[in-house]
Structure 1
Amino acid sequence: MTQLAEAARRVPLNRGRVLDAAVTLADEVGIEALSMRRLAQELGVVPMALYKHVANKEELLDGMVDTLVSEIDPPAADAPWKTAVRLRVLSARRALLRHPWARPVIETRTTATPAVLGYMDAFVGMFLAGGLSVDLTHHVMHALGSRMWGFTQEVFDDSAGRDANEHPTITVEARAAMARHMAGSYPNLFRIALAAAHDDESVVGNGCDDQFEFEFALDLLLDGFERLHERNWTSK
């Protein structure tokens, strides 16, 4: 094992190796624990060696998103536009499920790298190739929003409820009291909360964004886009 580690350290450091190591480390310890110092330790180099390949932590995070983009399947050739869009969105979602750190990193990016711009450009291209107008495609991209990346920015955040179930220190009586308060103060929310049955293994981040909810909303949007296209809809 020591020989393998020493051999790895002798491999010349480059940007790709730095980014791959950062992704692996974030997968293992979480994005909050990722630091330039810890990454350098994993690579067996001094921290200053990293700065020859990434200028700072923000550039490292940008590069990690680029690595994520490279894992997303390219647009399906010769597929109808709705199918091509759906397949690529679901491929992006699978990538996010593999890398739980990715959603918060994507949400905090303030600049788009060439890889991100290329990903967005290909998305626009799928709609235009399907015959949608530039005007409609502009509004379609706004409507898709974060779904382009495979997650939904949720109105409801039920992470607190899931956390309560994970902590045995919260008694059954306390949970029952919380439920009674919810039912009395917010009866409509309580009714739909009781109706929900979500698979936490398919949730990207907090909230109700499990696989069923995500695909339900995606298909609803794609069907709506198709109807607008068939009507030759225009915003002008």
Structure 2
Amino acid sequence: MNTERRAPLDRRRVADTALRLLNEVGLDGLTLRAIAKELDVKAPALYWHFKDKQALLDEMATEMYRRMVAGSALDPADTWRERLLKANRGLRAALLGYRDGAKVFSGTRFTGLVHVEQMEETLSLFTAAGFTLTQAVRATSTSYLYTLGFVMEEQGVEPLPGERREGFDVAERARRMADFPLSAAAGAEIFEDYERHFEEGLALVLDGIETRYRNAL
């Protein structure tokens, strides 16, 4: 008889297991039944903690954020631009650590106040720099949405770093679009070198914030 005591089933343990399983099966394959099997419990046991899959996704996103900010204290000496660069680079790196990470994060609601301390610090930094609260919210949320959308598209092509989804062969795409030379050549800009693509796009967003808000002060 196995007398080893298992860790008690709680929200954190379920979310940890779901995130680990996510990299194996992706979001579409991540069912409550599959998670229960991984935990060696019956599926109804999970409903004591989560009423549905969306509630589980909310907890998973919260845990992803908790891991992302663990040990990464904000630098009060940051400029607003440095803060946005650090925050969005960190977000992208965190999302790329999970198959379908951006899809999991998108549209979820944090289950606690894990995000509020850093949010407050960032908004304080922006308002101290001369932004209105409305401008600070627009600047931070627009850059966040850019990063989230970028990674969602990136993971549609490369579900995990180094893993290429079938059907995104740039050379084959160019061959099929030979009669449309600009569109054919654009493939290399759209579906390759995501690191450079992300940085250039983020710089465009920050330059836009600078032009619209800072130059008006």
User: TM exceeds 0.5?
Assistant: yes
Q: Does 1:183 align with 2:183?
A: no
Please name the residue that 1:40 is paired with: 36
Shift of 1:163: 2.3
Residues 164-191 of structure 1, C-alpha deviations (whole Å, 9 max, x = no match): 467xxxxx9xx4xx6454131x332123
Gaps of 5+ in 2: 159-163
Contact map agreement 1:90 1:150 (CA 8 A) in 2: no
> Structure 1 pair 164/28, CA: closer, same or farther in 2 (3 Å)?
closer
Shift of 1:93: 0.8
Shift of 1:28: 2.3
Tell me how far apart the structure 2 counterparts of residues 197 and 37 of structure 1 sit (CA, whole Å).
35
Counterparts of residues 201-212 of structure 1 (less than 5 Å): 210-212=194-196
Please name the residue that 2:209 is paired with: 225
Shift of 1:10: 1.8
Counterparts of residues 57-96 of structure 1 (less than 5 Å): 57-73=53-69, 74-96=73-95
**Of the two, which has the highest radius of gyration?**
1
Contact map agreement 1:23 1:64 (CA 8 A) in 2: yes
Amino acid across the alignment from 2:130:
G
Amino acid across the alignment from 2:199:
E
TM score, norm. by length of structure 2: 0.75
Amino acid across the alignment from 2:24:
E
C-alpha RMSD of the superposition: 3.4
Counterparts of residues 3-152 of structure 1 (less than 5 Å): 7=4, 10-73=6-69, 74-107=73-106, 109=107, 113-115=111-113, 118=116, 121-122=119-120, 124-141=123-140, 143-149=142-148, 151=150
Tell me how far apart the structure 1 counterparts of residues 157 and 149 of structure 2 sit (CA, whole Å).
19
> Structure 1 pair 113/11, CA: closer, same or farther in 2 (3 Å)?
closer
Tell me how far apart the structure 1 counterparts of residues 168 and 137 of structure 2 sit (CA, whole Å).
42
Contact map agreement 2:123 2:136 (CA 8 A) in 1: yes
Shift of 1:142: 5.5
Tell me how far apart the structure 2 counterparts of residues 23 and 227 of structure 1 sit (CA, whole Å).
40
Residues 198-224 of structure 1, C-alpha deviations (whole Å, 9 max, x = no match): 24xxxxxxxxxx111111111222233
> Structure 1 pair 115/146, CA: closer, same or farther in 2 (3 Å)?
farther
Shift of 1:124: 4.2
Contact map agreement 2:150 2:198 (CA 8 A) in 1: yes
Contact map agreement 1:69 1:119 (CA 8 A) in 2: no
> Structure 1 pair 198/126, CA: closer, same or farther in 2 (3 Å)?
farther
Contact map agreement 1:30 1:101 (CA 8 A) in 2: yes
Helix, strand or coil for the counterpart of 2:131? coil
> Structure 1 pair 99/38, CA: closer, same or farther in 2 (3 Å)?
same
Q: How many residues are paired up?
A: 205
Contact map agreement 2:174 2:187 (CA 8 A) in 1: no
Shift of 1:130: 3.0
Amino acid across the alignment from 1:46:
K
Amino acid across the alignment from 2:105:
I
Shift of 1:29: 2.2
Contact map agreement 1:69 1:115 (CA 8 A) in 2: no
Gaps of 5+ in 1: 167-171, 200-209
Residues 92-136 of structure 1, C-alpha deviations (whole Å, 9 max, x = no match): 1111111122212233x2656545873894454443343212343
